[in-house]
Structure 1
Amino acid sequence: MNDKILHTLEFSKIVYKLAQHAATSLGKAAAEAITPSSDLESVKLMLQATDEAYKADRLKGSVPFGGVADIRPSLLRSRIGGTLNPAELLEIAETVRGSRRVKRHVLQLHDDDPIPMLADLCEQLTEHKTLEDAILACIDDQAEVMDSASAELAAIRRELRNGESRVREKLEQMVRSSSVQKMLQDAIVTIRNDRYVIPVKQEYRSHFGGIVHDQSGSGATLFIEPEAIVAMNNKLRELRLSEMREIEKILQKLTAQTADYAEDLLLDLDTLGALDFAFAKGRLAHQMGASLPRMNDRGYLKLRRARHPLIAREHVVPIDVELGNSYSAIIVTGPNTGGKTVSLKTIGLLSLMAMSGMFVPAEDGTQLCVFDAIHADIGDEQSIEQNLSTFSSHLTNIIRILKTMTPKSLVLLDELGAGTDPAEGSALAIAILEYMHKLGCRIIATTHYSELKAYAYNRKGIINASMEFDVQTLSPTYRLLVGVPGRSNAFAIAERLGLQRDIIEHARGEVSEEDLRVENMIASLEENRIGAEAERQSAEALRKELEAERNRYEAERRKFDEQRDKLMAKAQEDAHEAVAKAKREAEQIIADLRKLALEEGASVKEHKLIDARRKLDEAAPELKKPAKANKPKAGTKPQRIEAGDEVMVYSLGQRGHVVEIGGNDALVQLGILKMKVALGDLELVKRAETAKTQQPKQAASLKRTRDENVKMELDLRGANVEEAIVEVDRFLDESFLAGLGQIYIIHGKGTGVLRTGISDFLRRHKHVKSYRLGNYGEGGAGVTVAELK
């Protein structure tokens, strides 16, 4: 790609932004070396790497590139026999460790959410932990060779420390001496030229023996090595030289180990740079709010709400452009400062970014083409003077473009034909456009000439476009309108600014009738477009409102279904718990009956006990879905339900008998289970026989619950005390003869008179061992339970 084009479209500024997101110098170098590619497959691979990095960075955050450095100079020196210093070796060890961390992090990301391309790159990274451990065993975090690097070094340093201690001790004895202190500037021990010395006053030089190593700036102080420690300092000097030789041997050994792995490490650095480069592109995409474009090599591009990446998002106006399908050239007209040049640069710059493997700041669904070259002639359209030199400069660029362009090129021309006589300039612009159009390349050109509007209107494959201008506010909106040519708006602007009307009318008279017809046609098109745009926005708003309403309805429906399922499950659980409790009590009763039969010789048939248990099991309610219940149709008149009626319970899908009515609820007998059910959950199946003949003031008739077998309960509701006592006495005798251990007397709650009379009778009866009111689930205060002797 031509460097001048990259500069014209400001691609270097995008490269600078990209380099700022690199975590290592390797990634930064790769970013600065980026160039657009004209190969479709290469571009797709680069975009895939960016897409994977974008996804990984969004889900798991930044990759840990810490410690990774560009160690190529050190590796190359190690290969030619040079000795690396401790800092260089430490940098190599940290890079090896950082490479291993990057590899494990990316492979973990791949396991959680596949990123195959980046995972394949990481698989190429080597893990030379042996080299890393060897270096870190000898060099500490401050890049100093440690005592543990070798036994010889440890011994030398131990002896060196002991020698330094002896020298300091000797000197400190001297400075504490009263005879020596008067000759010292300060009672301290210091070092000059790696030798221990003491500061002596200048006037005592002749009285103080030893070697002078330095003096103060004023000359008043001499730093003297006393004769008594010269030999000791010489010994320390020898030890330091031995230490340096041993350190050199250790560094040479580590350098030789590094050279053995240099080839692998150089390849690892290339891989790490590629990984950092990919993640830098992903982070740049996050910052710009960019998306992955679809690429083709058919010369087709479609930008959806594309933004110029170098303009702040809160200020830029997105554009929509389609090129290469129905038409291959767009002629953009409109006023100065209307945004034509920005639109032109946006299209070119986004194409360069996509061809470099970067996301583009546009909405999903954007498509871009891999061109063999992008040619641009974009000058300063805001220039006040348009003279011959400007025309010559534009024409020189266009001549160069005409010589190098191909059918697979994108050509961007700003102010085509400007800078010369309008008649000649427009004719030349039409001729240039016609030549390029016949060649088949993709063209986007901006112009002020009205002749080019007619040319684009009449030429197949070329379409007009304009930058929208608001006449009411006399300002551009910076929106690109494809399919609508621009208007000059000169008369409208002049009138709004207050120019005399007769001058404006005279000017209109100077405009040819044909030009007026074109202006009126454009005005009509723009008016229709504005109307259509308003209708589209209204339809879009309605669509969004309906979509939101549908989503809300779906959410409420799902919530209702969840609540219904929970209530059904709870009801089923409660019903099964109640049945289980009843079954346990019944089993206990049956066990007591067997025990009594064995003890007293009473005859209780086993098959009758089995039959009773079977009926008990069948009494357990089976939960059914509400949707399957035969509910009455909406709008039907609700039926009146009374005590004794046979009813269907919707929610349980079971039939039962109404025991009593209370407000909006009914107590329903379901087998041996009694449940309180809402009246709206009931459907009348069969009316009680007594309901038709019962009179309001008729005396209550006695109802017994007896067939050929003796029952365990006696229903006395509606009877008076005298009638009830007779029936209770007969029932107790029958139950005692049948060997029953426990019986139930149902008298209802009412006023309590019947319950009291029955209790008094039971207290005196010879067959009654004890009695009590019913528990929860047995009928409560409406039932008396008697235990027989």
Structure 2
Amino acid sequence: MNTKITKTLEFEKIKQQIQAFAATDLGKEKIQQLHPETDAEKVAKLQDETEDGRKVLRLKGGIPMPRLKSIKSHLKRLEIGGTLNGKEIAEIGRVLTTTKEIIHFFQWFEDNEIEFFVLDEIIAKLVVLPEITRKIQDTVYEDGSILNDATSVLKGIRTGIKQGEQNIRTKLDDIIRGKKAAYLSDAIVTIRNDRYVIPVKLEYRNQFGGIVHDQSSTGQTLYIEPQAILELNNHLRELAAKEKAEIDRILYELSMEIEPFSHELYRNSEVLATLDFINAKARYAESLKGTRPIISAENHIAIWQARHPLIDQTEVVPNDLILGEEYQAIVITGPNTGGKTIMLKTLGIIQMMGQSGLQIPANENSQIGIFTEIFADIGDEQSIEQSLSTFSSHMTNIVSILNQIDDKSLLLLDELGSGTDPQEGASLAIAILDYIGGIGSYVMATTHYPELKAYGYNRPGTINASMEFNVDTLAPTYRLQIGVPGRSNAFDISKRLGLKTPIIDQARSFIDVDSQNLNEMIADLEQKRRVTEMESNRLKKQLEESDALLEDLKTANEKLELSKEKVIEEAKKEANKLVATAKEEAEFLLQEIREMQMNLGAKNAVKEHELIDLRKQFDKLHQEESLSKNKVLRKEKEKKQFKVGDEVITETYGQRGTLVEKTGNAEWVVQMGIMKMKLPESDLRIIKEEPQPQNRKRQMATIKSASSSHVSPQLDLRGQRYEEALAEVDQYLDAALLAGYPQVTIVHGKGTGALRKGVAEYLKRHPQVKSYEFAPMNAGGNGATIVTFKG
């Protein structure tokens, strides 16, 4: 398509507006290369891209594209064996991390089975390079500087530089604060020629020795590197040279590692640019409230409520533009400043946008054609060029256009035939329109000539149109009236402005009868059109309300379906997680019981509190059923009357105990030996018979024996095997509990951490352990654990 039309219709401004929504350099380049396509399949694909972008924008707020620089030149230098600098490598790293983030972002759409026209195919081209990505992240900051930990050598050099700078500053600080401070122009340390210096007064230049590196503008101050720090500065320069050499080596090696992946990086960069391009088109369409146009194979144009994209969308007057099916030519007549030129530009720019894959500023179901060329001869009366335009220049342009047109061309001709004698100009305009009609091109033309009103009425495939003018307000409404030719409003306007009636009547007498009848016919058509339009607007409003309601219902239904599926899926995942956890806990408890049963009768006998704890954990896996309707259990419960001091037996554990206190409406604290447990009344049964004295004495003797045995407040496990150590911890905690220790220390050492982790897991499950934590640093740190028992 000819480049002149791009300038005439200001398509470059459209591209500039789209570029404001782009984030990458390559994406902006793609926008700059945007142009109308003449192949229907290409146009459809470009429209598919924009529609996909609108879907992402609607569902997830758009594609999260960061600011990316073009890496084309970086990759080309790698291909010829060049070395990249830190900033260039960081920019490649940014492309790689963005690739990973974009793939992760689109995973949500795949998980929710949301389909696209082309985006799935585009995303599939991205390649993740985890090793190179990690290597770059471990070597280079985002600003391109090299990390201290990039290599151990670099870390050592930079540590030396830091220490060297500190030594130099220490010595210089001693000078500027010492006896010779009076010789200085200012008590500061500065840098000249990459070496640390001090400002010395000219007359005292020999007091410090060393080298003069600079002087002040007045010559009264010399910047001297004192003799005392010459060697330190030299050493610092040597370290700086080593640092540079090490950085160069790191960048060279990293560049060589990146080079084999140049093809993948280039493709990733192109894909990200395409995604940015699509995202920018979608955001631009959103800003215009644009819609996807229907592509007509027959080039039938029907753009509903078309709006010029470069006019403020809150002020622009929308108009229906229809061309091609019933008529190939529209002739717009009427006075200046009514908006005729804007109509030409609106049709042309919307057609260019649609063929470029952009959504158009118009209502849904608008239709465009595919034209191989769009030509325009438009003289903007508001521009300087218009005042310089002549009939010959206009005619030269039209001659050039007529030599290139075919049946796939769209012509936009402003003020056709103007600039010459009205009679000759009108005749030329009619002849040119006849020629265009014979070729089969589509045309929209504007004119002042009244002769073309009759032409539009008499010629097949041609229709009259005009821009509405409000006689009451003496202002144009900028609304296009298709089928109604423009009429002169000069007499009406003059009358409203106060021109005397006799003058107006005399002027009317100079107009021939045919012209007067034509104006009266147009006035009658306008009246009938207004009535029809009012009814049409009423019906259109009702239709729009119905469409809006239907769209809201569709959107709500989609969200409901999506939400329902998501809730069901999350519920299934949660249920599966709970089942898996319960099964895992049950297997773990069963395994522990089996191990305990195997050890029965052995040295390490199963302890009562372990069985109680395991049974309690099993019971937690069981979900209690509601017993509110069980009358028998309710009556049995009502018979129970508990009080502090009662001897009870627990139904679940089969253990005897004493009621200590009531903690709730149906819950008691029960003392069972050295343990206290909170149990519900439904699990307790009062023991009426008195316990045997012999049993109590035997129990007291056991406790006394345990208390009297010597137990150290610290257990040392270092050097023991894992299983042996945990068995000893088990015995030790029982002994410590019986000895009445409130707190003990278990020394397990640091080592690999396996024993420390095993002790922590055991303490976590022990019912009598209140808390545990690592010892203070002066008492072993994480090599020992302090255990606190419950009171």
Q: Give the TM-score taking structure 1 as reference length.
A: 0.66
Deviations 1:335-368, CA, capped at 9 Å, x for gaps: 2111111111101110001011111111001000
> What is the CA distance between 1:509 and its match in structure 2?
2.2
Q: What residue is the counterpart of 1:334 in the other structure? A: 334
CA distance in 2, matches of 1:100, 1:362: 37
CA distance in 1, matches of 2:255, 2:532: 75
Deviations 1:277-298, CA, capped at 9 Å, x for gaps: 1111110111111111101231
Deviations 1:99-149, CA, capped at 9 Å, x for gaps: 221232134235433224112111111212222211221223443222322
Deviations 1:566-594, CA, capped at 9 Å, x for gaps: xxxxxxxxxxxxxxxxx999xx9xxxxxx
Q: What residue is the counterpart of 1:132 in the other structure? A: 133
CA distance in 2, matches of 1:425, 1:379: 16
Mapping of residues 563-642 of structure 1, within 5 Å = none
CA distance in 1, matches of 2:377, 2:84: 53
Higher mean displacement: 420-429 or 166-175: 166-175
2:108 corresponds to 1:122:
no
> What is the CA distance between 1:208 and its match in structure 2?
3.6
Match of 1:355, as an amino acid? Q
Q: 1:313 to 1:152 in 2, by over 3 A?
A: closer
Q: What residue is the counterpart of 2:600 in the other structure? A: none
Q: 1:111 to 1:344 in 2, by over 3 A?
A: farther
Preserved contact between residue 107 and residue 119 of structure 1 (Cα < 8 Å): no
CA distance in 1, matches of 2:90, 2:493: 72
SS in 1 for 2:403: helix
Match of 1:290, as an amino acid? G
Match of 2:517, as an amino acid? R
Mapping of residues 57-206 of structure 1, within 5 Å = 57-112=57-112, 113-173=114-174, 177-178=178-179, 180-186=180-186, 188-206=188-206
Match of 1:493, as an amino acid? I
SS in 2 for 1:411: strand
Q: What residue is the counterpart of 1:303 in the other structure? A: 303
Preserved contact between residue 374 and residue 409 of structure 1 (Cα < 8 Å): yes
Q: What residue is the counterpart of 1:753 in the other structure? A: none
Preserved contact between residue 467 and residue 476 of structure 1 (Cα < 8 Å): yes
CA distance in 1, matches of 2:300, 2:447: 23
Match of 1:125, as an amino acid? L
Q: What residue is the counterpart of 1:312 in the other structure? A: 312
Preserved contact between residue 67 and residue 97 of structure 1 (Cα < 8 Å): no
Q: 1:512 to 1:280 in 2, by over 3 A?
A: same
Q: What residue is the counterpart of 2:584 in the other structure? A: none
CA distance in 2, matches of 1:531, 1:17: 40
Q: What residue is the counterpart of 1:7 in the other structure? A: 7
> What is the CA distance between 1:2 and its match in structure 2?
1.7
SS in 1 for 2:291: coil
Deviations 1:468-509, CA, capped at 9 Å, x for gaps: 122233222211111111211222222222222222222222
CA distance in 1, matches of 2:223, 2:528: 98
Q: 1:489 to 1:146 in 2, by over 3 A?
A: closer
Match of 1:327, as an amino acid? Y
CA distance in 1, matches of 2:313, 2:444: 24
Q: 1:325 to 1:261 in 2, by over 3 A?
A: same
> What is the CA distance between 1:536 and its match in structure 2?
3.2
Preserved contact between residue 387 and residue 419 of structure 1 (Cα < 8 Å): no
CA distance in 2, matches of 1:41, 1:407: 20
Deviations 1:560-618, CA, capped at 9 Å, x for gaps: xxxxxxxxxxxxxxxxxxxxxxx999xx9xxxxxxxxxxxxxxxxxxxxxxxxxxxxxx
Deviations 1:408-430, CA, capped at 9 Å, x for gaps: 10011111111111111111111
2:458 corresponds to 1:458:
yes
CA distance in 2, matches of 1:478, 1:119: 44
2:409 corresponds to 1:372:
no
Match of 1:340, as an amino acid? K
Match of 1:152, as an amino acid? V
CA distance in 1, matches of 2:385, 2:259: 65
Q: 1:358 to 1:421 in 2, by over 3 A?
A: same
Preserved contact between residue 381 and residue 387 of structure 2 (Cα < 8 Å): no
> What is the CA distance between 1:389 and its match in structure 2?
5.7
Two-structure CA RMSD over aligned residues (Å): 3.1
CA distance in 2, matches of 1:547, 1:36: 32
Q: What residue is the counterpart of 1:518 in the other structure? A: 518
Q: What residue is the counterpart of 2:437 in the other structure? A: 437
> What is the CA distance between 1:547 and its match in structure 2?
10
Q: What residue is the counterpart of 2:49 in the other structure? A: 49
2:418 corresponds to 1:418:
yes
Preserved contact between residue 75 and residue 266 of structure 2 (Cα < 8 Å): yes
Preserved contact between residue 176 and residue 187 of structure 2 (Cα < 8 Å): yes
SS in 2 for 1:331: strand
Preserved contact between residue 65 and residue 99 of structure 1 (Cα < 8 Å): no
Preserved contact between residue 386 and residue 418 of structure 1 (Cα < 8 Å): no
Q: 1:311 to 1:232 in 2, by over 3 A?
A: closer
SS in 1 for 2:222: strand
SS in 2 for 1:412: strand
Preserved contact between residue 109 and residue 115 of structure 1 (Cα < 8 Å): no
Preserved contact between residue 331 and residue 446 of structure 2 (Cα < 8 Å): yes
Preserved contact between residue 27 and residue 273 of structure 1 (Cα < 8 Å): yes
Deviations 1:151-189, CA, capped at 9 Å, x for gaps: 2223333334444444444444555553x4444445555
SS in 1 for 2:16: helix
Match of 2:243, as an amino acid? E
CA distance in 2, matches of 1:504, 1:41: 60
Match of 2:39, as an amino acid? D
Higher mean displacement: 430-439 or 495-504: 495-504
CA distance in 2, matches of 1:548, 1:316: 22
Q: What is the percent sequence identity of the aligned residues?
A: 45
CA distance in 1, matches of 2:353, 2:386: 32
Q: 1:188 to 1:454 in 2, by over 3 A?
A: closer
Mapping of residues 248-267 of structure 1, within 5 Å = 248-267=248-267
> What is the CA distance between 1:540 and its match in structure 2?
5.3
> What is the CA distance between 1:7 and its match in structure 2?
1.1
Preserved contact between residue 87 and residue 142 of structure 2 (Cα < 8 Å): no
Q: 1:48 to 1:39 in 2, by over 3 A?
A: same
CA distance in 1, matches of 2:516, 2:311: 38
> What is the CA distance between 1:256 and its match in structure 2?
1.3
Preserved contact between residue 48 and residue 117 of structure 2 (Cα < 8 Å): no
SS in 1 for 2:118: helix
CA distance in 2, matches of 1:168, 1:283: 56
2:22 corresponds to 1:22:
yes
Preserved contact between residue 379 and residue 389 of structure 2 (Cα < 8 Å): no
Q: 1:200 to 1:297 in 2, by over 3 A?
A: same
CA distance in 2, matches of 1:173, 1:421: 97
Deviations 1:709-741, CA, capped at 9 Å, x for gaps: xxxxxxxxxxxxxxxxxxxxxxxxxxxxxxxxx
Match of 1:120, as an amino acid? E
SS in 1 for 2:203: helix
Larger Cα-atom Rg: 1
CA distance in 1, matches of 2:310, 2:220: 67
> What is the CA distance between 1:207 and its match in structure 2?
4.3
2:386 corresponds to 1:395:
no
> What is the CA distance between 1:200 and its match in structure 2?
3.5
CA distance in 2, matches of 1:90, 1:443: 54
CA distance in 2, matches of 1:541, 1:234: 85
